[in-house]
Amino acid sequence: MKIPVRAASHQYEVIIGSGMLKEAFESYRDLFETADQLIVLTDEHVWAAQGDYFTSSCPYSFHKLIMPAGESCKSFDNFNAAHTFLLKKKCTRKSLIIALGGGAVGDLAGFVAATYMRGIPFVQVPTTILAHDSAVGGKTAINHALGKNMIGAFYQPEAVLYDIRFLKTLPTREVLSGMTEVIKHAMISDPAWLNELMQQKVSHLDELMLADYLAKGVSVKARIVEEDETEQSVRKFLNLGHTYGHAIEAAAGYGGLAHGEAVMIGLVYCLLLSERYGAITRDVTIQFYQFARENGYPFDAVNNYTFAQLKDYLVKDKKADYGQLQFVLLEDIGKPYIKKIELSECEEVDAELRKLLSEVE
């Protein structure tokens, strides 16, 4: 399955299939054979689980750098270590980076590619469900102690090779985290698709259904990126659930809460906020929250922090505009829009969320 991404700066394809990695590599023979060196950036967990399969599937010689797993991959120290590795290997502008891993590896590797000698090509080889979102669209970044993804660049890959065979080894927590972004794509695009998802046990989808949902998610993102590559308008819709979710994630310390777990909390928060301005009803919010709980998403983290603690992270959100918070809200399911929200109203909805969590089973 091939999905084109026609970004303004660069066009490429996302190839999705099971057990197709070797074939995908061979289909990009010209790209890989014209590189003077191939550098694989991966993390310790991915390489332990997938290194043999990757090596047997890749018909080209490569050097690899095995990095720390999780959000620590996206640190300044690791960013520097990756550049040092490239310099020691005498990489040039004709070298090519392969990002083998989940969202953290892809974000880090993409930013390294964007900045090494002012930009060298890279290919995304995602190994998680979450990365169906992060690998597409060219957002690359590392973290700062004062905010997640604050230092980065828009830099598109040459291709995304998405072999869902990698997903078979994912623990349930990672499956759920990744499926949050699939659910988000449904929420901003298609009420019928969201309703279908809400009838599923999303951590136990069969391979064909998972591939179909991932392709749908990639297609939603591709259409938005084609219209707005650098997040000036509609691309902001992809941030549904992320403003409050990122605040919870940052408060927990990077890695303390899975990204998708934090965003799921943020989705419920945004439904509560949306109730004030559109057709979203409390019944819709409760039904969605119960679906999330029944699927095993944790919400305990909300009560671990006061709003005063979360406030500092909210106001530093990079989507803030002239000091005002910008939230993606839903006029209805499938109809996202942007609204500026005062901090005082954020606090009111935070209180509503805490009350919902205590009252609804």
Catalytic residues: 118, 139, 181, 221, 231, 235, 239, 242, 246, 259
What is the rounded distance in angstroms from the CA atom of residue 351 to the CA atom of residue 225? 34
Please state whether beta strands 325-332 and 122-126 pair in parallel, antiparallel, or not at all (unpaired).
Answer: unpaired
What is the rounded distance in angstroms from the CA atom of residue 117 to the CA atom of residue 114? 8
Structure tokens at 107: 């974000």
Other C-beta atoms closer than 10 Å to the C-beta of 307 total 18
Structure tokens at 16: 């999705």
Alpha carbon 336 to its chain's center: 18
Please answer whether residues 39 and 91 qualify as being in contact, where contact means their C-beta atoms are separated by less than 8 angstroms: yes
Please answer whether residues 221 and 238 qualify as being in contact, where contact means their C-beta atoms are separated by less than 8 angstroms: yes
Q: The tokens 């099971």 sit on which residue?
A: 18
62, burial (CB in 10 Å: exposed 0-12, middle 13-18, buried 19+): middle
User: In 3-state terms, what secondary structure has residue 112?
Assistant: helix
Structure tokens at 163: 């072999």
DSSP 272-297: HHHTTTSS--HHHHHHHHHHHHHTT-
Rg (Cα) of the chain, in Å, rounded? Answer: 20
What is the rounded distance in angstroms from the CA atom of residue 205 to the CA atom of residue 182? 13
198, burial (CB in 10 Å: exposed 0-12, middle 13-18, buried 19+): middle
Specify the DSSP element, H or E, that contains 148.
strand 147-154
246-272 as b/e, with b when 16 or more CB fall inside 10 Å? bbbbbbbebeebbbbbbbbbbbbbbbb
